[in-house]
């Protein structure tokens, strides 16, 4: 009975954490460049079932590990691109992140809703500079702006057209080094970025990679699973209470 109680309890804990993740995914389904978090669970057979060196079976441990949430991993799948027509709205087709310089550090995002400051610096809507391949700010003169798939920024004026910089698109060999900073930004935590092979599409923005409909269905599913774990836990509690009420008077 104790193994069943622990299984129900850990299952409830896991489903409660998964419920928080699913709710956050749905809440940000309309956020540009949002990357959903996906939960994963430890395998019940990861340690095997053969007796250990002390001759003790691992079956009990395996049962008690049932439903343990291993953690969350970042889903780097592509979000849907939406055409805006704004020459400074940029989307990445494929892998990679834009780099932006915040007051705290360099952060990475897929949200390409950029603007040009009064001094010509390419920036986010919060006034943070967007960085080039050398992780330096980019200054764009007045004129007609064209941004190539490789990030090269060209400006056309009455005197002709000239390249003025190249927007950096960066990736990381191990995405687990990234930690979320707000809804659609990430810190690299000291990991060194590499140049990504993603292509920039001018005049478009990338939406979240979480579909609101499927996300809501997942949220409902996880909520029902949590309710089932609560009911199972209640059954075990009632059985323990009944056993205690019947056995204690005999002591």
Q: Where are the alpha helices (DSSP H) in the chain?
A: 2-27, 59-64, 212-247
Indicate the domain borders of the chain. 2-76+210-250, 81-206
Whether pTM > 0.85 for this model: the answer is no
pLDDT per residue, tens digit, the chain (251 aa), is 455 666 666 767 777 778 888 888 898 888 999 999 887 665 544 444 445 544 444 444 544 455 555 567 788 899 999 999 999 999 999 999 999 999 989 999 999 999 999 999 999 999 999 999 999 999 999 999 999 999 999 999 888 899 999 999 999 999 889 998 988 999 999 999 999 999 999 999 999 998 888 888 888 888 887 787 777 777 766 665 555 555 556 55
7 forms bridges with which residues in the sheet?
A: none
pLDDT for res 49: 44
**Cα dist. 83→25, 59, 87 in Å?**
23, 55, 10
pLDDT at 20: 85
Q: What confidence score (pLDDT) does residue 38 get?
A: 83
Which pLDDT score is estimated for 56?
47
Distance CA 201, CA 229 (A): 46
Mapped onto helix, strand or coil, the DSSP state of residue 154 is strand
């Amino acid at each position: 009975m104790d193994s069943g109680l622990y299984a129900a309890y850990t299952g409830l804990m896991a489903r409660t954490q998964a419920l928080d993740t699913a709710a956050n995914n749905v809440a940000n389904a309309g956020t540009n460049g949002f990357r959903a978090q996906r939960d994963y669970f430890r395998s019940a057979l990861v340690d095997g079932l053969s007796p250990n060196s002390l001759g003790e079976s691992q079956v009990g441990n395996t049962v008690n590990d049932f439903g343990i949430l291993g953690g969350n991993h970042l889903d780097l799948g592509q979000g849907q691109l939406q055409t805006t027509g704004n020459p400074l709205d940029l989307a990445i087709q494929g892998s990679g992140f834009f780099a932006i310089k915040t007051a705290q550090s360099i952060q990475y995002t897929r949200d390409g809703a950029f603007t040009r400051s009064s001094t010509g610096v390419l920036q986010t809507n919060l006034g943070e500079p967007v960085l080039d391949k050398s992780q330096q700010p980019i200054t764009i003169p007045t004129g007609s702006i064209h941004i190539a798939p490789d990030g090269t920024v060209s400006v056309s004026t009455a005197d002709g057209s000239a390249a003025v910089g190249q927007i950096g698109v960066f990736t990381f060999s191990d995405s687990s080094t990234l930690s979320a900073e707000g809804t659609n930004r990430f810190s690299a935590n000291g990991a060194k970025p590499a140049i990504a092979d993603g292509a920039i599409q001018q005049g478009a923005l990338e939406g979240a990679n979480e579909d609101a409909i499927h996300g809501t269905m997942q949220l409902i599913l996880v909520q029902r699973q949590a309710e089932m774990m609560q009911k199972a836990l209640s059954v075990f509690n009632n059985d323990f209470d009944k056993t205690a009420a019947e056995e204690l008077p005999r002591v």
